[in-house]
Amino acid sequence: MATHHANAVLPDEPEKATLEGKNKLLGFWLFLGGETVLFGSLFATFIALRDQTNGGPTSQQLFDMPLVAAATLLLLTSSMTAVMATLALHKKNLKQIQVWLTITVLLGLGFLGLEIYEFMHYVHEGHKISTSAFGSSFYTLVGFHGGHVAFGILWIVLLQLSATKKGLTVVTAPKFYLASLYWHFIDVVWVFIFTVVYLMGMIGGKVG
Amino acid sequence: MSAHASHAPKRSGLWDWLTTVDHKKIAILYLIAGGIFFLAGGFEALLIRLQLMYPESSVVGAKTFNELITMHGTTMIFLAAMPIIFALMNAVVPLQIGARDVAFPFVNSLGFWLFFFGGVLLNTSWFLGGAPDAGWTSYTTLALNQFSGHGVDFYVLGLQIAGLGTLIGGINFLVTIINMRAPGMTFMRMPMFTWASFVTSGLILFAFPAITVGLVLLMFDRLFGGNFFNPDAGGNVVIWEHIFWIFGHPEVYILILPAFGVISEVISTFARKRLFGYSSMVFATALIGFLGFMVWAHHMFTTGLGAIANTLFGLATMLIAVPTGIKIFNWLLTMWGGQIRFTTANLWAVGFIPTFTIGGMTGVMLAIPPADYQYHDSYFVVAHFHYVIVGGLVFGLFSGLYYWWPKMFGKLLNETLGKWNFWTFFIGFHLTFFPQHFLGLMGMPRRVFTYLKDQNLDLGNFISTIGAFGMTIGTILFVVNIFVTAASSKRAPADPWDGRSLEWAIPSPPPEYNFAQTPLVRGLDAFWIEKVAGNKGMTPAEPLGDIHMPSPSFLPFLMSVGLFIAGYGFMYHNYVVVVIGLLVTFACMFTRSVKDDPGYHIHEDEIEEKGVKA
Ligand code: HEM
Ligand SMILES: [Cu+2]
């Protein structure tokens, strides 16, 4: 174990050191269970409505592989940097945590930027939430995910700011841990979006 | 760890209630708010029944009638039944597992305030241009702009806010039950009410996100030009039905399982026997919870899902009768040979059994798809679900309230008034809803505001309305009982019923830290075991020491107010208001996450040594 002097008092796995920490961890896992149902319902709705374009643009006309691939790359990398942050947490090294999280946030911002560009582009092509049932379900599913990314960025930044004052303690450690758990979750959801919305949408044809 | 303040922040009066994070006080808040909504929903029901008392009458008119049935159903389910369940869970579960507190006191209070402001938002629709009128199920396309008024926007946003509160409340109880049990309190030693709360919370966790999505989609359609449910633009109305019932069917088990839990506690206490077949009860509870998710499409037999789907969902539905039957027999066998005391609490519990059984039987009838084509949307359905929701859940809640009132308020409800309360409500209930089975079979459709003379519907409807007055009298007697009890000066002892589970081992009402020393649990019916062994109380599992408490907070209230304000902004497309509201909420979240809350300590010498002896 690294024995950085100031943190020497911190127990191993500081995120689970207190009952409060354990409660938070369990509660957060359960919350993610609920989020799974939430995204599951959105996916089901999207799959049911994806071919209902009502004369508006279809997914084949809209989607653009390089853009989506770039966004995916950014987000997947950010999950890796979040893992590095958790490893740093277990080494009780606040500085490293901060560095890795900063990279995570920057990658997340890049992803969001691409998504906003993508949406604006689509609207330009006449693909709006009100154009068709496909439009409604696309923006709701992908937008919900984007909202989660935005929230995650805000959360991590706030954590980073407050940790500069408070340092790494048994109170802040669970928060770092949960934030990166959350970040992995939205990453996994994106993998499904990438497959179900974009890949399947670009192949085209009726599925199911 | 950061330094702790050593004294409780002094708060009193209203300010104390607005900021409390004590689960026992939150229980009382839930009870008061849920009780008021129950009276509102009951008043709406009475108006519905007055309108239907005679054929072709026009007491309220068609438009108001639609609003009344919608608000009645919505209010009863979301704003009366759920909160009163949460009241009991908050009052009892931490005590039954020997915990000092719930896992997330702050979240607990946030859950209450979200429910409260969601409910208020929904009800302000009455004064702001009309209440929702598309039924409590808000079926599309009826619930879209073309066919229904502004009221449905209140439904969409009010339920969204209240639903969030329920969801986080459920998570709180799951974590509390998993992580906060006293030493020795294994899962298979948990009282049935705690088990029921546990499974119910699990159902909440997986069911409520579905309605969250449903409400978001409906909101997009109604407010932002979405097309999810608009067939003209490729939308599909059956999606709403699926999502609604994927939530809605588990929801009825969310309602009934806690009632089962109450009945188990009350029957075994007043039969002075341990619950018959405890482990089969646990198994049945879990199985019902699981099956509850598998059967949602029995609400959709007539939408054309096809014969195979209908058959499978029909069979799955009927399967639920098996674990439910196990429970009924276990209750009967618990009473068998027991020394039964017919207190009011036990009257409600015993009255529950045949009433709920009738509701269960009509449920199996409805689960036969071809037969359902006949019953569908008739008064037979109305009779069925009131037999389970009122005859099941409401009876269970009354039983639980009479049983735990002393633990919650330190006083025993008046038994004489209680018996009058029971009998008027019980008889009124059966008068109201039994004839509705026949009205339905004779062809009276659900959700119609009137009917013609001389079609054999007159007498049944008349009796039904008389019964509704009976229930009204019963409810009024309960309210009277509350005031009479509050005015009396007699205090309840710690263990007025000779109870079996841990909550009876500490004073009524318990001190804010519940257990001065965490108790050591040696088996099922933990307190009873000690009493039988001749011990005065529980053996402590820890030495007496300082107790750490969370500090009160105004943030949950403010956060909910923020969403409440934002809700109006969305409805009236005023985005300045939306931003202001959300800013309030986010500012509270920000404050909460940046400012650590170290709580405070109650010192050893301040702890009254009443409950647990060292
Ligand atoms: C207190 C006595 C009650 C009376 C007299 C009463 C009466 C009624 C009536 C006449 C309807 C309208 C049926 C229709 O035309 O479709 C109705 C609907 C309903 N009631 Fe009750 N009810 C009572 C209590 C409750 C309670 C306690 C609950 C739930 C906890 C409840 C849940 C519902 C629901 C979910 C509906 C369906 C509303 C809809 O179709 O949109 N009721 N009730
Ligand atoms: Cu059902």
pLDDT digits (tens, 9 = 90+) for A68-85: 999 999 999 999 999 999
Ligand having the closest approach to the CA of B393: 1
Q: Determine which residue's CA is closest to atom 37 belonging to ligand 1.
A: B73
Phi, psi of B492 (to 5 degrees): -85, 140
First to last CA, chain A: 53
Ligand having the closest approach to the CA of B448: 1
Tokens of B434: 């039994």
B217: closest chain A residue by CA: A140
User: Among candidates B64, B261, B37, which has minimal Cα distance to B162?
Assistant: B37
Q: Which residues have C-beta within 8 Å of that of residue B486, sequence separation ≥ 6? A: B409, B411
Decide if B103 and A23 are in contact by the 8 Å CB cutoff.
yes
Whether the per-residue pLDDT at B304 is higher than 50: the answer is yes
pLDDT of B8 reads: 64
Which of B164, B171, B542, B597 is most worth mutating to test chain A (most A CB atoms within 10 A of its CB)? B171
Whether the per-residue pLDDT at A208 is higher than 50: the answer is no
> Can you spell out the DSSP letters for B208-219?
HHHHHHHHHHHH
Decide if A52 and B236 are in contact by the 8 Å CB cutoff.
yes
Average pLDDT across chain B, whole number: 94
B45 C-alpha to ligand 1 centroid (Å): 6
Decide if A26 and B178 are in contact by the 8 Å CB cutoff.
yes
Residues B300-336: b if buried by 16+ CB within 10 A, e if exposed: bbeeebeeeebeebbebbbbbbebbebbbebbeebbe
Please report, rounded to a whole number, the percentage of residues in chain B having pLDDT higher than 70. 97
* C-alpha to C-alpha distance for B117 and B165, rounded to whole angstroms: 10
Q: Which residues have C-beta within 8 Å of that of residue B525, sequence separation ≥ 6? A: B191, B268, B274, B500, B501
pLDDT of A7 reads: 47
pLDDT 10s digits, B79-116: 999 999 999 999 999 999 999 999 999 999 999 999 99
B386 C-alpha to ligand 1 centroid (Å): 7
A10: closest chain B residue by CA: B1
Q: Which band of pLDDT confidence, cut at 50, 70 and 90, is reported for residue B612?
A: very low
Name the minimum distance, in Å, from the CA of A167 to any CA of chain B: 12
* C-alpha to C-alpha distance for B501 and B454, rounded to whole angstroms: 56
pLDDT of A12 reads: 85
User: Among candidates B139, B144, B140, B130, which has minimal Cα distance to B65?
Assistant: B130
Closest CB from B206, B220, B246 relative to A136: B220
Angle between helices A172-193 and A133-166 (to 10 degrees): 160
Tokens of B311: 């058959």
Tokens of B8: 């409780």
Average pLDDT over residues A64-70: 93
Mutate to test the pocket of ligand 1, among B76, B381, B395 (most ligand atoms within 8 A of CB): B76
pLDDT 10s digits, B341-373: 999 999 999 999 999 999 999 999 999 999 999
Instruction: Find chain B residues with C-beta within 8 A of A131's C-beta.
Output: 227, 233
> Can you spell out the DSSP letters for B23-65?
HHHHHHHHHHHHHHHHHHHHHHHHHHHHHHHSTT--SS-HHHH
Tokens of B588: 């509270």
Check: CB of residue B160 under 8 Å from CB of residue B215.
yes
User: Taking the CB of residue B445, how many other CB atoms lie within 10 A of it?
Assistant: 14
Check: CB of residue B199 under 8 Å from CB of residue B286.
yes
Q: Determine which residue's CA is closest to atom 1 belonging to ligand 1.
A: B42
pLDDT of B605 reads: 83
Q: Which band of pLDDT confidence, cut at 50, 70 and 90, is reported for residue B593?
A: confident
Q: CA dihedral defined by A150, A156, A159, A164, rounded to 10 degrees?
A: -120
Average pLDDT across chain A, whole number: 91
Average pLDDT over residues B323-345: 96
Instruction: Find chain A residues with C-beta within 8 A of B235's C-beta.
Output: 49, 52, 133, 136
Decide if B179 and A19 are in contact by the 8 Å CB cutoff.
yes
Instruction: Find chain B residues with C-beta within 8 A of A23's C-beta.
Output: 103-104, 175, 179-180
Tokens 């020497």 belong to residue: A8
B133 C-alpha to ligand 1 centroid (Å): 14
User: At residue A66, what is the residue type?
Assistant: P
Q: Which long-range contacts (CB under 8 A, 24 or more apart) does B401-405 make?
A: B401/B31, B401/B88, B402/B343, B402/B344, B402/B345, B402/B348, B403/B262, B403/B265, B403/B266, B403/B269, B403/B345, B403/B497, B404/B88, B404/B91, B404/B92, B404/B503, B405/B485
Beta partners for residue B547, in sequence order: B602
Check: CB of residue B27 under 8 Å from CB of residue B408.
yes
Residues B22-32: b if buried by 16+ CB within 10 A, e if exposed: bbbbbbbbbbe
Kindly report which listed range (A30-34, A159-163, B47-51, B295-299) carries the lowest average pLDDT score.
A159-163
Phi, psi of B540 (to 5 degrees): -75, 150
Inform me whether the C-beta atom of residue B206 falls under 8 Å from chain A C-beta atoms: yes
3-state secondary structure B457-516: CHHHHHHHHHHHHHHHHHHHHHHHHHHHHHHCCCCCCCCCCCCCCHHHHCCCCCCCCCCC
Query: Residue B549: helix, strand or coil by DSSP?
Result: strand
User: Among candidates B318, B153, B313, B307, which has minimal Cα distance to B245?
Assistant: B313
Average pLDDT over residues A149-165: 93
User: Among candidates B251, B40, B39, B47, which has minimal Cα distance to B166?
Assistant: B251
User: At residue A127, what is the residue type?
Assistant: H
User: Taking the CB of residue B497, how many other CB atoms lie within 10 A of it?
Assistant: 23
Cis peptide before B209 (omega within 30 of 0): no
User: Among candidates B273, B419, B239, which has minimal Cα distance to B345?
Assistant: B419
Tokens of B553: 């907070």
Instruction: Find chain A residues with C-beta within 8 A of B104's C-beta.
Output: 23, 27
User: Taking the CB of residue A120, how many other CB atoms lie within 10 A of it?
Assistant: 9
Instruction: Find chain B residues with C-beta within 8 A of A45's C-beta.
Output: 213, 217, 228, 239, 243
Check: CB of residue B447 under 8 Å from CB of residue B380.
no
* C-alpha to C-alpha distance for A45 and B297, rounded to whole angstroms: 16
B262 C-alpha to ligand 2 centroid (Å): 22
Decide if B226 and A31 are in contact by the 8 Å CB cutoff.
no
pLDDT 10s digits, B388-399: 999 999 999 999
* C-alpha to C-alpha distance for B23 and B91, rounded to whole angstroms: 7
User: Taking the CB of residue B360, how many other CB atoms lie within 10 A of it?
Assistant: 21
Tokens of B290: 């699981």
B104: closest chain A residue by CA: A23
Closest CB from A27, A128, A131 relative to B175: A27
Decide if A41 and B246 are in contact by the 8 Å CB cutoff.
yes
Whether the per-residue pLDDT at A16 is higher than 70: the answer is yes
Whether the per-residue pLDDT at B70 is higher than 80: the answer is yes
Check: CB of residue B580 under 8 Å from CB of residue B565.
yes
Query: Residue A58: helix, strand or coil by DSSP?
Result: coil
Please report, rounded to a whole number, the percentage of residues in chain A having pLDDT higher than 90. 81
Average pLDDT over residues B18-26: 96
* C-alpha to C-alpha distance for B138 and B159, rounded to whole angstroms: 12
Whether the per-residue pLDDT at A207 is higher than 70: the answer is no
Tokens 């990658």 belong to residue: A107
User: Taking the CB of residue A16, how many other CB atoms lie within 10 A of it?
Assistant: 16
This complex has an ipTM of: 0.93
Q: How many residues does chain B have?
A: 614
pLDDT of B247 reads: 97
Instruction: Find chain A residues with C-beta within 8 A of B214's C-beta.
Output: 41
User: Among candidates B302, B343, B305, which has minimal Cα distance to B498?
Assistant: B343
Tokens 């020491």 belong to residue: B545
Q: Which long-range contacts (CB under 8 A, 24 or more apart) does B441-445 make?
A: B441/B375, B441/B378, B441/B380, B443/B378, B444/B378, B444/B379, B445/B377, B445/B378, B445/B379
B46 C-alpha to ligand 1 centroid (Å): 10
Query: Which residues lie with the beta carbon below 6 Å from any ligand 1 atom?
Result: B 42, 45, 48-49, 69-70, 72-73, 76-77, 81, 135-136, 382, 386, 389-390, 393-394, 432, 446-447, 468, 471
User: At residue B578, what is the residue type?
Assistant: V
* C-alpha to C-alpha distance for B215 and B547, rounded to whole angstroms: 43
Inform me whether the C-beta atom of residue B174 falls under 8 Å from chain A C-beta atoms: yes
pLDDT 10s digits, A127-145: 999 999 999 999 999 999 9
Kindly report which listed range (B161-170, B314-323, B604-613) carries the lowest average pLDDT score.
B604-613
Which of B97, B145, B167, B175 is most worth mutating to test chain A (most A CB atoms within 10 A of its CB)? B175
pLDDT of B430 reads: 98
Name the minimum distance, in Å, from the CA of A29 to any CA of chain B: 10
Check: CB of residue B521 under 8 Å from CB of residue B503.
no
The one-character DSSP state at B338 is -
Beta partners for residue B602, in sequence order: B547
CA A132 to chain centre: 27
Decide if B226 and A166 are in contact by the 8 Å CB cutoff.
no
pLDDT of B524 reads: 94
Average pLDDT over residues B245-274: 97
B202: closest chain A residue by CA: A30
Q: Which band of pLDDT confidence, cut at 50, 70 and 90, is reported for residue B7?
A: low
